[in-house]
Structures are given as structure tokens and as C-alpha cells.
Structure 1
């Protein structure tokens, strides 16, 4: 085992969000349009087909929550409060540069927050059905058509079938490249840390030259494979292997994923919505109308807002097998009711496979980090 520094390119992934500010300003100076998004349900293919940039908006810090709480309830999910706080304080350059915000009704808190957000920025809300059947599929397909209409009118462009097909291929290429990178962690021991995987996942939202980004990821994957073949890994074959699931991890990566690896665990899979499952499903490039294919792919994302959400349980089972997982840490943000209720099904799924399970409820404050560390230490030691 070696603790040699990993490829320098990882620094560029961690820095991507900061450098993206400058890149975005340069793109805006060229006249490019920018669409800010919050969730993986927003179909980026539509945005790319409108020749616009897509950027994930800041919602992973407690910095702006006090300002947001002047207008929003205190007992609300930190992600919602942080998102709104960045909008009203102008502390997020991405929010500032966005010509249009696209939201989706993934929870009651967000959909009501969008009403207030619409007073600050031009906000288009997609009405996401919370179940999957033929009726909901048609509703969702119409929502995608409404998004196309909105972008065409907003940016004075025409979104053609050819542009949609090109955008589908681009997004599928990104998914395949990212899946190959994540698959590195299936090796025993894993050649990549969970924090590094998270940096790469996060950077995908802020790298606007996609072809250049794909090449970076391919080189990184190859480099890591070569290091692994030489026996250079940050872990041993006996290091407990952990899967993270639950709410988006952006605001809690340091006190959950980083702490797990500091106390002797190896985070090999991040199942959360910004993680592996975001890159899992491809859009059909060959056999379907582009709008139909896009609608089908996105409505099948297994988020806790969907009912029933058996797809998430099946995916967790598959990841436990594929990544040789010893234990699962289920992270719920305060007041996220759908994920909080679903912890019961996740626990049954995990323990049904004879694996250890730990549920954590937290927020973006670091005040509970010592308490979390104690619980995580006990969990990893048990493994």
C-alpha cells in the first residue's frame, strides 16, 4: 500500500467550481446563455440543444441560511434554505450569471420556495409527477415540451430534433466516462478515495468544455489503473468498504465521507442523486423519438420523491454486490421527509443482505461533526 499523492489533476477537479466562475464570466462575455439548475431531474439535453450552458447552483453551504431564514421557516431542509439564500444575497456567481433558473417539484418545500425565487430570477418550474405510469409519463413528456418552448422563447433559438440527438449523445458520453471512473472503486482495495470521487462528481457540473472534461476523466481513470497495478492504493484489502446513500452530499462531504476515511473506512460508492445513479441510465439514442427517450430516462431516476421507489432498493442491492460493500451509511438532511421515511425500507434492504446499516440525520452546520465522528468510528470499528 502506498499513500503517494494521487494525480495532480484531482486538484483541478476540486477547484473546478471556483475556476468555473471565471470560465462562465468569459462565456457570458461572448454572449452565451446560462441556465441554472438544482436537480438531476432537469434534462440537460434540452438545455444543450438550446446552445446554452447548464450549471448546478450553489446550495451546499450554511453561509446564506441565516439570511434565508428571515423569509423561510427555520425548520426547513438546509438545501432549500441555502439555495434561496444564495439567490437573495448574490453570493453565488452561478446564480448571478444565470439567465434562467429551472426548478422541478421534487418536494413541497422546493416548489413553494420557487415562488419566492421567481421574484428574484426568471424561474421555470417543471411539474414532476411523483409516480410512474402511462399517465404520469405523458404529463412529464409535456413538461419537457414546455421547457423546450420556454428556452426557445427565452433565447430566441430553435431546438430541433437533430440538436436534441446531438445533446443526447453528449450526455450519454459523459455518463459512460463517469461510470468507468466510478467502477475503479469496485477493485479491492479501492484505488480511489470517496472524497476524490465526490470532487470529480461535483466538478462535472462546472466543467463547460465537455470534450476536454471527458479527456481529463479518461486520463485520470487510466492513471489510477496503472497505479493500482503497481500496488499503489490508499487502502488495504481489509479496509471496511462503505456505500453512502440518501440526500445530496454536497454540504456534508467533509463531516461524513471525509471523516469515514479518516477513521479507517473506504467509501467505495456514493449512491446519492449527485452520485453513481446520476450517471447510471442512458438515454436511448436509436429507437425512440428524442423527447420520448429523454422523458423515459429522467422519470425513472429512483429518488425518494417517487412512490413507490423500489428502484432505489434494487440499485442499492446491486451496488452492495458490485462494490463488495460491508456497510451502508444513509444520510438524511434535516426535514427531508421523503428520505427520512424511506430509511426504514433502506435499513430492511441492507440488513436483509446481512450488511451493517447506519442512519444519520444532519444539516450543513459543523456543530454535530464531533458527535457524527463518534458514531462513525463505532460503525467502522464494528465492520
Structure 2
């Protein structure tokens, strides 16, 4: 009979509490999403993917022997990982329990996303993390730089330098990094990246990008064909599903939305304020803000966060039909159109936000800032000024990975939505602004 020491027993109890708390919180938010009315046909695939990872505590579903590669930014080209015979998995997390554990590991002012990553790796209890054969960390902020160093104590990690500019010299340097990444992937998977395997990977990811483009067009329509929370669930699930599986499931959703158009069916007959959500990423299970927006009478009509449409919005453009041409197309796609605030000049980010506002008939913008996320917080003032010129109301919401601020967020979101509803009544709008 094997007996455990006191330290082992204490560790076992801690692990059990972590798993119980983590699964309970995730299951609660999945139930809230499932309880929202108007879910399109095909949502089960996306909900099941999140349940598998966060409630059942299993790894991603891949063929036996296929390796998974963890990524921490949309600037890592999925195509290279697929070309090496592996599957990319986004490891950014909005997990409350891991955040609290990471709070004792990372500095107090580190952002909650980084603390959650630290918490997961410290416990070693999350299969989606433990199964990864390698992790790729583009350095988009100081916290990412330090988290890369910490992860290196547990597994094989490759850091990628993200330039502050998007000129030709910076693109050339990023191309060299992608060749280095290809070599590292080949060493990990034991499979050579060839012209054919890379071309097949372009096709695989391209199918997902095509279905997403169709989805975006359908989502723009008024009246509303789908709730924003359901749309954000679909995008979050992309982190844990193979691109072709995700594309097949999204195709079913798109067909369902087209049928709604033909039958003139909508998720609600009410005219709800159309909200654009931007700023720090909204990562499951930390989906309290989109849920509050829609519970308080708004609808998330646009999602500009890096866990949303940004990662697949711009397909690569191949001008040179060679292996090097494809690598260069990936480098250009990763940097040139990217509206991430990590770049020094963010004129392009302002342009993208204005484009989304126009295309999605946005009536108000909620700028989400994770506490300690300075790179996004720094951009808020300029965005507020630029959107003010368009008479688009914008509000900054700072949040953490806990539920203690839910009621405060609820009050501010409700007041903001009321501000939009008041429309052309400036004297009342000023009163509501004071509440914000």
C-alpha cells in the first residue's frame, strides 16, 4: 500500500480544490451562454470544445500521435504549424482560479492574462498546456517577455521579436524569424515543411478564413441574426479546434443565419444599441462583459479584440508563388494589417476602428482594459478623441479576472447603454455621462 506524505496530501487537496473551482466557474459561464436565446444551429461544436478544455479538463482532440504547439499571439502563423504536421493551440486564458494562483507568482501589477498563464503552468493540471510540445511567445509587451522566460522552465519555448514598425526592413527580419520558427517546428515534430505541406496548410486555414468572412457579412445585418456573445464564443472556440473542423462547424452556423434571413427571423424584435467591443482580449471563461452588455439591453455587434476576428480577418496575399513567397506572405499578413497597439504608430488601428464602426453601424464603443495591460490602456485617450469627432460615445472599462467587480461593471454598462438610447437628447445625455 502506497502512502502519501503530509506535503503530498496537502498538494493533492490543493489540486482538487483548484480543479473543482475551475470547472465550476467555467461550467457556470457555459450555462449562461447556453441560456441566451437565439443561438443558431451548429453552436454545440463550439460549446463542446470549451467544455472539453475547461470543464472536463481534457486536452484538444487531435489524431493519435499529432503534436500540439501552444501560441500566445495571433501574429504566429497557423499555417507554419499545420505545415509541420502539428496543431496550433492558443493558450491565452481568462481563467479565474489560475489567475488567483498566478497572483502569488507574478508581480502585483502584471496583467491577469499573464497571471493566469503562470497559474496554469505552476499547477501543471491543465492538459491543454501540459500536452504542448512547444510554446511560441511573440514579445508584444514586457509581461510577455517575462512569461516566456518563466515558461522556459517547464517546456520548449521560442520567443519571437515583434518590431515596433512595419517597414520593409522589419518585414525582412520577421521573414528570417519565420524561417527560424519553421526549423524549430521541424525539429519538434520530426516532419519537414515542404512547398506542398505549406500550400495545403494555406488551403486549410483559408477555408476557415472564407467561412469567417461569410459570418462577418451575415453578422452585420439588421435586424440581428446572432447575439454577440454567441459570436465571441465561436471565436474563442477557434483556439482549441483544428481549422477545418472549425470551418465545417461555422459553415453550419452560416447556413442557419442565411435561413433566418430568408424567413425574416431575428434574435430579438427590439432595436438594441449596437456596441463595438475593443481593447484587451476577452478570453473564456472571463466573458462577463459581453454577457453584461447583452443582459443590460445592448448587443455586441463588433469584436475587435485579438481573441475575436482579428486573427483571421486578413488572409495572406501571395504575389510570388514560391516557398519563399508564401513565407513572405505570412510575414506581411502578420504585421502590416495588424492593429495591435504594440506598434509605435497606431494610425492604422484608428482607421480599423472607424471602419468597423461604419460597417457594423456601431452606436457606442466599450474599450476594455485588463488591469495592468498598459499597452492597451495607453491607446485609450487618443481613441476617445478620434471617436469623439464622429460623435460616437466611448467608455473605458477596467476589469480583472474575478467576479467582485461584476455589479460595478453592470451599473456602468447599463448607464452607457442608456446614454446611447437617449440619442439626440443632449441635456439628458450629460446627466448620464456624469454617472459614467
Q: Tell me the TM-score normalised to structure 2 length.
A: 0.83
Where does residue 85 of structure 1 map in the other structure? 119
Contact map agreement 1:331 1:361 (CA 8 A) in 2: yes
Q: Structure 1 residues 171 and 355, CA, compared in 2 at 3 Å: closer, same or farther?
A: same
Q: Deviations over 1:263-287 (max 9, x none)?
A: 1101111011121222211112453
1:30-109 equivalences under 5 Å are 30-109=64-143
- Which of the residues 282, 289, 306 maps onto 1:273? 306
| Worse overlay, 133-142 or 232-241 | 232-241
Aligned partner of 1:362 in structure 2 is 399
Instruction: Extract unaligned runs of 5+ from structure 2.
Output: 1-35, 421-436
Following the alignment from structure 1 to structure 2, what is the Cα–Cα distance between the partners of residues 344 and 306? 16
| RMSD over aligned Cα atoms | 1.9
Q: Distance in 1 between matches of 2:259 and 2:188?
A: 48
Q: What's 1:311 paired with?
A: 348
* 390, 404, 414: which one aligns with 1:353: 390
Paired position in structure 2 for 1:203: 237
> What is the aligned partner in structure 2 of residue 294 from structure 1?
330
Once the 2 structures are TM-superposed, how far is the Cα of residue 225 of structure 1 from its aligned partner?
2.1
CA deviation after TM superposition for structure 1 residue 35, in Å: 0.4
> Retained in 2: the 8 A contact 1:126–1:143?
yes
Distance, in Å, in 2 between the alignment partners of 1:101 and 1:212 is: 22
1:138-157 superposed matches below 5 A: 138-157=172-191
Question: 1:329 maps to what in 2?
Answer: 366
Question: SS of the counterpart of 1:305?
Answer: coil
How far 1:253 moved relative to its partner?
5.0
Aligned residue number for residue 340 of structure 1:
377
Q: Where in structure 1 do 4 or more consecutive aligned residues deviate above 4 Å?
A: 20-23
Gaps in structure 1 of 5+ consecutive residues? none
Confirm or deny: 8 A CA contact 2:58 2:127 kept in the other structure: no
- For 2:128 and 2:285, locate their aligned partners in 1 and report how far apart those are by CA, in whole Å: 21
Residue 92 of structure 2 contacts residue 113 of structure 2 at CA under 8 Å; is this kept in 1? no
Shift of 1:169: 2.2
* Structure 2 counterparts to residues 221-232 of structure 1, below 5 A: 221-232=254-265
Q: Does 1:215 align with 2:252?
A: no
> Structure 1: how far apart are the matches of 2:52 and 2:42?
14
Identify the residue that residue 171 of structure 1 maps to in structure 2.
Answer: 205
- Displacement of 1:353: 1.3
Residue 24 (structure 1) aligned with residue 57 (structure 2): no
CA contact (8 A) 1:184 1:190 kept: no
The 1-side partners of 2:217 and 2:386 are apart by 22
Report the CA distance between 1:4 and its aligned residue: 6.0
Which position in structure 2 is the counterpart of 1:261? 294
Please report how far the alpha carbon of residue 251 of structure 1 lies from its aligned counterpart in structure 2 after TM superposition.
5.0
Query: 1:24 Cα deviation (Å)?
Result: 3.3
Q: Distance in 2 between matches of 1:194 and 1:213?
A: 18
Higher relative contact order structure (alpha carbons within 8 Å, sequence separation ≥ 6): 1
| Aligned residue in 2 for 1:378 | 415
Q: How far is the alpha carbon of 1:95 from its aligned partner?
A: 0.6
Tell me the distance in 2 between the aligned counterparts of 1:332 and 1:242.
16
The structure with more radius of gyration: 2
Summarize the Cα distance change of 1:26–1:186 in structure 2 as closer, same or farther, 3 Å threshold: closer
What is the aligned length?
Answer: 378
Distance 2:335 2:37 in 1: 42
Moved more, 127-136 or 194-203: 127-136
CA contact (8 A) 1:37 1:55 kept: yes
Contact kept? 1:195, 1:253, Cα under 8 Å:
no
Distance, in Å, in 1 between the alignment partners of 2:398 and 2:369 is: 5
Q: Deviations over 1:304-362 (max 9, x none)?
A: 10110111111111111110010000001111111101011211222221111111111
Q: 1:6, 1:69 → 2: CA distance?
A: 36
